[in-house]
Structure 1
Amino acid sequence: MTTGSTQSSILHQPRAVWAVAFACVIAFMGIGLVDPILKPIAEQLDASPSQVSLLFTSYMAVTGVAMLITGWLSSRFGAKRVLLAGLAIIVVFAALAGSSDTIGQIVGFRGGWGLGNALFIATALATIVGAASGGVASAIILYEAALGIGIAAGPLLGGFLGDISWRGPFYGVSALMAVAFVAIAIFLPKLPRPERTTSLLDPFRALRHRSLLTMAITALLYNFGFFTLLAFTPFPLAMGAHQIGLIFFGWGVCLAVASVFVAPRLQRRFGTLPVVAAALTAFAVDLAVMAVYTDDKSVLVVCVVVAGVFLGINNTLVTEAVMLAAPVERGTASAAYSFVRFGGGAIAPYLAGKLGEEVNVHVPFWVGAGATALAVVVLLSGRRVLAHVDDHEPAAHSVDEARVLVAADA
């Protein structure tokens, strides 16, 4: 098939596929959407950085736990019902967050948002794969495009709406997800249920494999650095919502480009594990530079944008490593990995805020750098049990890959 015909098949999709892809863009906007409004929320609701960072903590904690049940729910109720349930929950809780008057209310409603997001992202790509024309490869490309657009556009939209009011981004997500709900309800046909029902205990059994546990702990530690960057950096930057949005838009663009274009090339040349170790090491150094030069805003801005390259490479290649790590179904591996990984995403934002308040603004970045460096040590300590990962050719996209891709990239 020629490149032109491939592009044609990708673009000529059923309306159901475009509806789900649109919802994916909005869902992934949620990753960076609140970054630009962290400081305005703190100022207007008289909250500390650690209190505001709980917006990430509640969201990630609930998402991580909910990942354990998404496969079980999909296998019993079908992907479309789970997809629509996730969207409906996001619509309600995002609107409630925007209507809140206290930081505690926002934190609680962000937890509900996390539940909806887990239900949605765990089934979205599998749904696109099942409904798309042009084969699985076309569906994966569409998903990756939606992921990249969402990650890059989230801070930009958050900055634009946040410049009007900190409530704007929450209401914006609620409205857009409502549109996606209606489109999917109308255009997406009922999808067949999986042949095999999933047990709630399967993810915990999967963690008995040292290879998968090694990758999960590596990701947990790396998430300390990732969410220190995401949740704490807006405070020492001390800029307006629009400016923060533009900075993290640059970060998102670098992440998306590195995920789709840079990571596969490096993987083919050097192998998965060496490139992941190098990307994590580079990110640890990046955070260390931020720790030293926390008072220099220009250095922070450059380091945030450059970090997107390292994070994009890491996210893509760790995803493949997880898929190959243990002899279990990829959906099960995804749930187990995500449950452990999101623990770092839940703890790190609050810890960073507390350290910044009670010690100084440099310490959170030092802790993030140290945790990321420790992730490299954990990864390399398991290189023998992970040796088979580099024995494989770069993984071909498959329907089974869908679940683990969405969970790992989420």
Structure 2
Amino acid sequence: MSSCTGSGTGALMLSSANAGSSSSSRASRSGSADGSWCSTTRRCTSTESSASSCDRTVTAAGLGSVPPVAAAQPSLPREVYVLSVVGGCVMLGLGLVLPVLPVYAATFGAGPTQIGALVALFALMRLATSPFCGRLGVRFGERRVLVAGLLLCAVSSALTAFAGSYGQLLVFRGLGGVGSVLFSVSALATLLAISPADQRGRASAVFEAGFLLGGICGPALGGLLALVALPAPFMAYAVLLLAAAVLTLAVLRTGRTAGAEPGRDVVGLSVLLRDRRYPVACLAALAQGWVLFGLRSALVPTVVVAWRHDVTWVGWAFTISAVVQALLIMPAGRVVDRAGRRPAMIAGTGVAAAAITALVFVDGYAWLVVLLSVYAAGSALLNAAPAALIGDVVAGRAGSGVAVFSMCTDVGAVVGPVVVGLIAERVSVPAAFGSGAVLLVVAFVASWTLTTVRPTRRS
């Protein structure tokens, strides 16, 4: 405790984090608004290396009642940025190969149906492998599974570059889908395990920012590499994945910073489902997968072409919305941590639902771009808030919690395009857009059932 002589006194209790392992007392000098000085004493007690509480009492001269002062937010763990870079490498590589894949498959005599099967197989293999990711993480640790996924994707991409037939291309693409889900589930589980509760929103935003930037830059670079040779983007992707695997091994070492090693507590899916936050987050993930891959990727291009615009206009619409999302993803992460998960979920699903609902009535390109950008703003919140909710529920424990959450997005990505296409053909295009709006509205209503609890470092 400390005191300063003056005409008035006020007490302010602050909470901060301390990584020490024993009680300690530290003295410092602090200044009041009028230039007078006083000493402060902080008594810190810690029972964990990652979270502790420190009660500081400050008595300032001449200030009367001192208003609460927000403590500076601690920086994110270094591993969060590493995972973001790794994710950026993965998405950059995917962006390199996706525009080239149909053209490359056509050189083996593949028609539109076979090319469609090649694209769908990747998502199907992700979906089929997802249920096993939790068990693999429990058995071997997410860090090892993450690296294995990166290496499997690298081998798959390199083999694709040297494929001699469509059948080989199909097999190698399927292996890439397996490696992709091993990486994505393990990376997210590791991210949530190493991030304190009051930083999970920002951590998820940084992680998603890497994916967004990679996805924006990849297609243009892939087109340039394809001018050299069609297999070149696949080899470049393999090199990127190998570099990402080396970076992961170098930084995410075994131990506490890895955040996901064998021997952690295991939580069952039945326990997670009893927590309201978990199904709400999974519902939001399903809606996101449905809208992004069913409506945006599968339906919007056909609508734009029907308006007598060429495919280039589709690319511009997607690029503009992606840039909007990239600009808003970091502020969205701060909102998730400071305002709480519930307000962020309500705002994200509400804005996204409004944008997709409005698409039902749009018949011009300019309004399409505007509404896709509005949806991107809501999607920025939905990239951070549901993942942070999952991290709060799982709380660093191993199991299938993250895998099932990821699986919900994949279900939307696989089922969404098929169902949306059927609705567009047999009913109408506005009705197809309405299917996504319904899912988002349901997620919006479900988000209201959450309780408003702002996470703290100790939680």
- TM alignment of 1:9-28, pairs within 5 A: 20-28=83-91
Question: Whose Rg is larger?
Answer: 2
Q: TM-score, normalised by structure 1?
A: 0.70
Q: Does 1:160 align with 2:231?
A: no
Q: Using the alignment, how far apart are the partners of 2:201 and 2:155 within structure 1? A: 29
TM-score by length of 2: 0.64
Aligned residue in 2 for 1:378: 442
SS at match of 1:85: helix
CA change 1:331–1:73 in 2 (3 A) is: closer
Say if 2:183 is the partner of 1:120: yes
Match of 2:40 in 1: none
Instruction: Give the letter aligned to residue 254 of structure 1.
Output: V
1:162-311 to structure 2, matched below 5 A, reads 162-165=223-226, 167-186=231-250, 188-191=252-255, 193-196=261-264, 198=266, 202-203=268-269, 206-207=272-273, 212-228=278-294, 229-234=296-301, 237=304, 247-262=317-332, 264-265=334-335, 268=339, 271-289=343-361, 292-293=362-363, 297-311=365-379
Instruction: Assess, with a 3 A threshold, how the Cα gap between structure 1 residues 83 and 340 changes in structure 2: closer, same or farther.
Output: closer
Q: Deviation of residue 345 (structure 1)?
A: 1.0
Question: Which residue of the partner structure matches residue 319 of structure 1?
Answer: 387
Task: Please tell me whether the aligned partners of residues 140 and 397 of structure 1 are also in contact (alpha carbons under 8 angstroms).
Answer: no
Question: d(CA) in 1 for partners of 2:105 and 2:299?
Answer: 12
| Structure 1 pair 233–319 and aligned structure 2 pair: CA distance change class (3 A) | same
Partner of 2:211: 150
- Once the two structures are TM-superposed, the CA of residue 322 in structure 1 deviates from its matched residue by 4.4
Pair 236,333 (structure 1): closer, same or farther in 2 beyond 3 Å: same
Q: How many residues align?
A: 377
**Alpha-carbon shift at residue 336 of structure 1 (Å):** 2.6
Structure 1, residues 127-179: CA drift from partner, whole Å, max 9, x if none? 568889xx887898566435313313324322331355365543332221112
1:408 corresponds to: none
Contact 1:271 / 1:390 at 8 angstroms: preserved in 2? no
Structure holding more helix per residue: 1
- Residues in 2 aligned to 1:140 and 1:382: alpha-carbon distance in whole angstroms: 19
The answer for unaligned runs of 5 or more in structure 2 is 1-15, 17-69
Instruction: Kindly state the Cα deviation for residue 180 of structure 1 after the two structures are TM-superposed.
Output: 1.9
Distance 1:242 1:33, change over 3 A: farther
Distance 1:330 1:371, change over 3 A: farther
What is the distance in 1 between the residues matched to 2:147 and 2:394?
A: 31
Asked if structure 2 preserves the Cα contact closer than 8 Å seen for 1:64 and 1:342, the reply is yes
* Aligned residues with identical type, % of pairs: 21
- Partner amino acid, structure 2, of 1:274: I
Question: For residues 90 and 431 of structure 2, what CA distance do their matches in structure 1 show?
Answer: 31
Q: Does structure 1 retain, via aligned residues, the 8 Å contact 2:205–2:384?
A: no
Deviation at 1:87, TM superposition (A): 0.9
Contact in 2 for aligned 1:57/1:349 (Cα 8 Å): no
Instruction: Note if contact 2:356-2:437 (Cα within 8 Å) is conserved in structure 1.
Output: yes
Name the structure with the higher strand share. Answer: 2
- Give me the whole-angstrom Cα distance separating, in 1, the residues matched to 2:414 and 2:273: 20
2:453 to 392, 399, 405: 392
1:95 deviation in Å? Answer: 2.9
Please, what is the CA RMSD of the aligned residues? Answer: 4.6
Identify unmatched segments of 5+ residues in structure 1: 401-410
Quick one: which of 338, 345, 355 aligns to 2:413? 345
